[in-house]
Amino acid sequence: MTGNIIGERFVVVSFGESHGVCVGVLIDGCPPGIEVSEEDVQVELDRRRPGQSIVATTRAEEDRVQILSGVFEGYTTGAPILMLVWNKDVDSRPYEKIVKTPRPGHADYPARVRYRGFNDYRGGGRFSGRITAGFVMAGAVAKKLLGKIGVEILAYSHEIAGIKCPQLGVEQIRDGRYSNEVRCPDPETAEKMKKAILEARRSGDSVGGVVECMALNLPVGVGEPVFSSIDSDLSRALFSIPAVKAVEFGKGFESCRLRGSENNDQFIMQGGRVRTATNNSGGVLGGLSTGMPLVVRVGFKPASSIAKEQRTIDLSTMTETSIVVPGRHDPCVVPRAVPVVEAVVAFVLADHVLRAGLIY
């Protein structure tokens, strides 16, 4: 299969360009009988919409989703679901210069080589964060599907600009994650994060961070080892989000410094069910879900578009030059990435729940 398609039984196909006609997604394999409306999708989409906050880009897109196929009388039909938003607030003029002078940290240069100069470079084209609007649409349907068996996905800003969120309870995360602009459920931490972002913006710079996501109530034994292990497939999809540079499950890199006796999650009985006393594994053993909360952390680099002058190459002459990156951008992608991570985790789990025969 080609690169814009993911999943086996809940298949997600991404399309659209940042400054093209539209961005969207096609889902094939969604079972019939799932109640889905444009409003359901819009709720999720509004969470990643630009132009809402002082910590994000000023590009003002209404981003009204249209469902063009696969839903009939309010329910999925089993046919392919095509959803898109039209691009409206497009200003492509500033991008003409990036054709020749690739922006540091962006895909301009390797994309030009790969697509032999035919790629739509405007606004980053297929490499823009804007394509994640399609991910969110797919995630909205996936969440509805997962809801059938009680699976819930919760993400939040775990760390921004080195400022870490303290350990929180599930209820606090659920209730608080969309209560502020930086999507951190702890108000005090959120305030610090916001300051750090604004400070970076003021200096024409950007900051990165970490989104943590958990999936609750996932049944035991979901995943298809060895190559479609639940962690394998999640990481693949998460690295498809622009700016992601690191993925870890449970204690992740920290567990590499523990001893086995500290890191192993010992089995206990709790409420008549097999549980583990700790959850260092992040709910994954041998690539299968354990029944404990699935916990994944996703590291985002600082946004590549900054207002500072940077060194680059003039590809027409193959000589060194410099660039000040044009366009309107996020000083920190983490807050808007929160609903994107939720969506991506949702569509991967939807696929695996179908593969495991837990829903049909």
Residues 40-79 that bind a copy of itself (CB under 8 A): 68-70, 72, 75-79
d(CA 147, CA 142): 8
326 is an interface residue for a copy of itself by CB under 8 A: no
Buried b / exposed e over 224-256, threshold 16 CB at 10 Å, is: beeebbbbbbbbebbebbbbbeebbbbbbeebe
Q: How far is the CB of 175 from a copy of itself (least distance, A)?
A: 25
Buried b / exposed e over 337-357, threshold 16 CB at 10 Å, is: bbbbbbbbbbbbbbbbbbbbe
Count the neighbouring beta carbons within 10 Å of the beta carbon of residue 16.
21
Closer of 171 and 316 to a copy of itself (Cβ): 316
Q: How far is the CB of 143 from a copy of itself (least distance, A)?
A: 19
38 is an interface residue for a copy of itself by CB under 8 A: no
Of 166, 260, 271, 316, the residue at the interface with a copy of itself (CB under 8 A) is 260
* Residues 120-139, interacting with a copy of itself (CB under 8 A): 120, 125-127, 131
303 is an interface residue for a copy of itself by CB under 8 A: yes
150 is an interface residue for a copy of itself by CB under 8 A: no
Distances (CA, A) of 64 to 44, 89, 179, 341: 11, 13, 22, 20
258 is an interface residue for a copy of itself by CB under 8 A: yes
155 is an interface residue for a copy of itself by CB under 8 A: no
Of 146, 248, 346, 349, the residue at the interface with a copy of itself (CB under 8 A) is 248
Q: How far is the CB of 189 from a copy of itself (least distance, A)?
A: 15
Q: How far is the CB of 171 from a copy of itself (least distance, A)?
A: 27
* Residues 160-219, interacting with a copy of itself (CB under 8 A): 161-162, 200, 205-210
Closer of 171 and 256 to a copy of itself (Cβ): 256
92 is an interface residue for a copy of itself by CB under 8 A: no
Strands 22-28 and 163-164: unpaired
Of 39, 167, 257, 271, the residue at the interface with a copy of itself (CB under 8 A) is 257
Ramachandran class of 159: left when φ > 0, alpha when ψ lies in -120 to 50, beta otherwise: beta
d(CA 215, CA 353): 12
